[in-house]
Structure 1
Amino acid sequence: MTEFPPLTHIAVTVRELNVSVPWYEALFDARPVIDEDTDPDMHHTVFVLGNGTLLGLHQHQGRGAAARFSEFQVGLDHVAFGCATRGELEKWSRKLDELGIEHGVIKDAPYGSGLAFRDPDGIALEFFAPPAEA
């Protein structure tokens, strides 16, 4: 094996698809490509992102999904969407404002710049751009 395979999809568990699906539809400005029950206890909705990566929303029926997400628990910390430049981050900041989605300020670091926000279940999301070339 010469190269590690690329990431193809991310699936996150949400409490209520009827809340999360419209929220992600507004964020992505897209409709899901899959919306189905996979077994009696799970339903999933899948979005195709611009680069072909899939983002799935899963709702598990009758299982403990009462607590909000916390990146301080073992498991996922956050999901980051790549932007080419800091200027794109600024555009996303304005778009989040238009959608009424709370977010932090753009934070710059030597390794890049990020704009953090959360989905309705508190799942930590970020737009991230690499550092500007000198």
Structure 2
Amino acid sequence: MPTFSKVSHISFSARDADRSAAWWREIFGLKDLDRTQGDGWRAILLIHPATATIIEFQQHDANRGETFDPARTGFDHMGFKVDDPAELDEWQRHFEEHGVTFTPVVQREYGSVLTFKDPDGIQFEMFYRADHP
């Protein structure tokens, strides 16, 4: 079976790519990597230096400005792994200080979750699970 080495990048459709990129720079310390464009769209690529995770924000000319809805077919959410449950509390304080929309840490049977949303309402999680691969 063919394989791949890691996830190359994740790309989100944003109402305002500049605003989304600025938010991710401020909240997560992402750094500019590249800008690109095509017919009817433009994109900003950011990188998280510690993990080499690349997040792209595409702004399509045809975007009608609607907010994200996880109930529609497509993307539901993305989870970021933390290695210690105490980090969830640190993230929660960080989100409070920066006015990020979030739901406080919840303990579930499968792990501990801190859910938050970006400027377009896209849902993300900070996630801890003992023995997480």
Percent identical residues: 26
Shift of residue 67, structure 1, vs aligned partner: 1.0
User: What is the match of residue 9 of structure 2?
Assistant: 9
Cα pair 1:85 1:132 within 8 Å, conserved: no
Shift of residue 73, structure 1, vs aligned partner: 0.3
Q: Which moved more, 1:84-93 or 1:40-49?
A: 40-49
Aligned 1:68-83 pairs, distance under 5 A = 68-83=67-82
Aligned 1:1-134 pairs, distance under 5 A = 1=1, 5-36=5-36, 38-49=37-48, 50-61=50-61, 63-131=62-130
What is the rounded CA distance, in whole Å, between the counterparts of 1:116 and 1:97 in structure 2? 13
Unaligned runs of 5+ in 1: none
CA deviation digits over 1:83-112, x for unaligned, max 9? 111101111111111111121010111221
Shift of residue 5, structure 1, vs aligned partner: 4.2
- Give 2:89's aligned amino acid: E
Unaligned runs of 5+ in 2: none
Shift of residue 132, structure 1, vs aligned partner: 7.3
Shift of residue 3, structure 1, vs aligned partner: 5.5
Cα pair 2:15 2:63 within 8 Å, conserved: no
User: How many residues of Structure 1 are paired with residues of Structure 2 in the alignment?
Assistant: 131
- Give 2:101's aligned amino acid: E
What is the rounded CA distance, in whole Å, between the counterparts of 1:86 and 1:8 in structure 2? 27
Superposed CA RMSD in Å reads 1.9
What is the rounded CA distance, in whole Å, between the counterparts of 2:131 and 2:95 in structure 1? 23
Choose between structure 1 and 2: higher strand proportion: 2
Cα pair 2:21 2:46 within 8 Å, conserved: no
- Give 1:92's aligned amino acid: W
Shift of residue 40, structure 1, vs aligned partner: 3.4
Shift of residue 2, structure 1, vs aligned partner: 7.5
Cα pair 2:18 2:44 within 8 Å, conserved: no
Shift of residue 18, structure 1, vs aligned partner: 2.8
What is the rounded CA distance, in whole Å, between the counterparts of 1:75 and 1:94 in structure 2? 30
TM-score by length of 1: 0.88
What is the rounded CA distance, in whole Å, between the counterparts of 1:3 and 1:20 in structure 2? 32
Cα pair 1:83 1:89 within 8 Å, conserved: yes
Shift of residue 6, structure 1, vs aligned partner: 2.6
